[in-house]
Structure formats: structure tokens, C-alpha cells
Amino acid sequence: MTTDYSIATRARTANAATLTSMLQDTRQLTLALLDAYVQALGPALRIPYAPELNPPLWEVGHVAWFQDYWLARNPERARGLAANPECARPPGREAQADGWYDSSRVAHTARWSLPLPDLTTTCDYLAASLQESLALLADDGQRGADPYFYQLALFHEDMHAEAACYMAQTLDIALPATLMRQARQLPLAYDIHLAAQSWTLGGQGVGFAFDNELPVRPQALARFAIDSVPVTWRRFLPPVEAGCLPCPAYLRRRDGEWQARCYGSWQTLDLDTAAEHLTQYEAQAWCDWAGRRLPSEVEWECAALSASGFHWGEVWEWTGSRFAPFPGFVAHPYRDYSRFGFDEQRPVLKGASRATHPRMAHPKYRNYFPAQRFDMHSGFRSCAL
């Protein structure tokens, strides 16, 4: 159970040498996931439209484009947060890349009909963009330039690797066991009691921070009691079996046992693992049945960083808080990173899942998905009323 976030802290404070290694590592993961998709779908990588998916070929090209756009083509990359995101850029290595892969300007529904390059050309684009990025990083590192955009590119690719895991679950694509940690059994839950206090939400000190984590926000907390671990299937299923809650997605009961659909195959459900692939509505419905409630974002963060015995990292955990800018919020150069979540008033999820790279597993990180989404490894823990 992930309570050690030293790898995430190392990524957020990485020097050029460390970033070089991490960028190479995340690219290996991207290519391994791509290979699993090619094995399942063929080189054309065609899938039917779904609002929670992206065409896999577009996803891979977008990763290459993002790195090119913010590194090789960004004349102000050395300025970090002071960079002008609208500065003039030289043409890309793919002449039409901006019209294909810019997620801020290319509508989601349009991505299925774009005349994208084939798989071989896209893989060449990936390789060329990384090679140039690493060469620039070596030079910028020697000059002591701000590494912000290299860190942004690293975390961006890590996020898309996790999204590829979600898509594989939706599409019944088998993933090698080496690409994602297996679900782990959790100990029995108990209430952790925390006293009334002031907690500083957001920020993490030195190093990289996402714009929605800033500025820091002191907040008064009343005393509360929170689960030591996420809700397991053993706790979640009784109201389902009693007919009080509907059966969650990817679950079925056969011959007296519960089974879970996991990357294309049905497996016996381990009742002592975290309940996952749940919507926020299902989490709230269970809390209503149990006489509990979802924690707020600040309660979750306070417990994760200050309470002994608080275990997290098995699933992204729904909170009862809406994803909103902290007072004094200023968007970073990637202007749209937080905007869609703010505009749609999505709930905040905290923690990390077994599909999350440890580089992303930081207790200050604010994830945000629509409340009805269940394809990601999403679960929850509860608080006493």
C-alpha cells in the first residue's frame, strides 16, 4: 500500500540526469502498452467511438506532439513558468501535427476521422521527438535552465500511460502483468480519529507543482474520523447482495462466487482488495446505506500526510469535494490542464491506483474525473458522520 511518495518527490525535484532516465523509462512504458494494443487490434489500431476513449493511434501521436510542442518547438522553455505559452514556434517535424494532435483545439469527436499517419510513421515521430528532447535536456541542464517543461512532458506521458490502462480495461485488451501492479489485500479497516486543526491544502514546497495545487490554502478542519484503508469488496458488496445497490460494472456472480472482468478475462474476486471501477454515485450510495460519508479533499490530504496507519495507493479515491481553483489560482503555461475540470465541476479524486506510475503518486496531487466515470481504477474510503 503506497504511503511512501519519495519517488514522486524525486520526480518533482529531478535534475537533468534524473529526468533523462525518467523520460526514457516512461517511453519504454508507452511502447510496451502500444505493443499490447497492436497485438490486440492490429497495426491500424481502430476502435469504435466512445466518449471516454481516444483513438490509440491519436494517443501515441499526441504524446510525441506534446513533447515537441513544449520542448523542441518552445523557444521559451528555459524560462519555466515565466514562459509565454503563445510565443511563436517554428514548424514541427510533422507539418500537420498541430492540426491533428493539439487536444486544446482538436475536438474529441473529430479525432476518429483525422487522416493520421500510420503506425510506423507515428513510432518514428515518437523516437525522433524523444531523441531531440534528451539532447536539449543535456544542454539545458548544463546551463542550469528551469526543468519545468521537461517535468511537464514526463508527467504528461505518465498520465497517458495510465489512460492506456483504462482504455485496455474498457476494450478487453489483455495487458502483460509487468505493466501494472496486481491488486493487493488490505487489512481490516478502522477509524482514524484526527483532532480539529488548521491544514494547509495544496503546494508541496520546492520543485514542480501542478497549477491546480497552488497557491497553498490554509483551511480549518473540525475533528473527524476516516477509514484507515479504502472500502473493500467485502464491505461494499453486502448492500448489493441485499438488492439495496445495483451491481457495479465489470462484476458478476456465478455459481455462488463473485467474479471481476479484468482486462478481457473473468477472475475470481478477492473480497479483501479495494472495491474499484466505481462511480462517485456508487460510492455515495454505499455511504448512504452504511451511515457514513465521503471525506472532503482536505480531510483526505490531512490524513494521508499526518495520520499513522493511513494506507493509500490501491485506487483513486472519490472525495465529496468539487474540483475548483484555490483562491488566487494562476494557470501555468499549459493553460488547459485544469480548465476542463474546473468548467465541468468534476469531483476531486485523491491518491493513486495500481495503474498509476509511482512518479505520479503524490498526496498533494488533485485528480478529477466526471462523477459517472468508472473505467479507471476508482474507489473510495468513508468518514464517520
Residue pLDDT, tens place only, 124-140: 999 999 999 999 999 99
Question: Closest by alpha carbon to 86, among 108, 100, 69?
Answer: 69
What pLDDT, on the 0 to 100 scale, is given for residue 180?
A: 87
Mean pLDDT score, 70-86: 96
| Residue 183 domain flag | no
Last residue within a domain, chosen from 126, 147, 178: 178
Q: What does the pLDDT look like over 287-311, one tens digit per residue?
A: 999 999 999 999 999 999 999 999 9
305 shares its domain with 231: yes
| Residue 184 domain flag | no
What pLDDT, on the 0 to 100 scale, is given for residue 78?
A: 95
What pLDDT, on the 0 to 100 scale, is given for residue 205?
A: 74
Last residue within a domain, chosen from 178, 207, 228: 178
165 shares its domain with 234: no
307 shares its domain with 158: no
Q: How confident is the model at residue 340 (pLDDT cuts 50, 70, 90)?
A: confident
Chain length of the chain: 385
Domain of residue 114 covers 6-178
What pLDDT, on the 0 to 100 scale, is given for residue 204?
A: 67
- With residue 252 as reference, give the H or E element that holds it: strand 251-254
366 shares its domain with 251: yes
Q: How many domains does the chain have?
A: 2
337 shares its domain with 315: yes
| Residue 242 domain flag | yes
Last residue within a domain, chosen from 138, 155, 178: 178
279 shares its domain with 371: yes
Q: How confident is the model at residue 202 (pLDDT cuts 50, 70, 90)?
A: confident
Strands 257-262 and 367-368: unpaired
Question: Closest by alpha carbon to 286, among 235, 320, 350, 228?
Answer: 235
Mean pLDDT score, 229-237: 98
Q: How far apart are the first and last CA of the chain?
A: 26
* Cα-based distances in Å from 148 to 2, 145, 280: 26, 9, 33
137 shares its domain with 276: no
Q: What does the pLDDT look like over 205-229, one tens digit per residue?
A: 789 999 999 999 899 999 999 999 9
Mean pLDDT score, 337-342: 90
Cα separation, 342 vs 258, whole angstroms:
37
What pLDDT, on the 0 to 100 scale, is given for residue 2?
A: 53
89 shares its domain with 143: yes
- With residue 262 as reference, give the H or E element that holds it: strand 257-262
225 shares its domain with 162: no
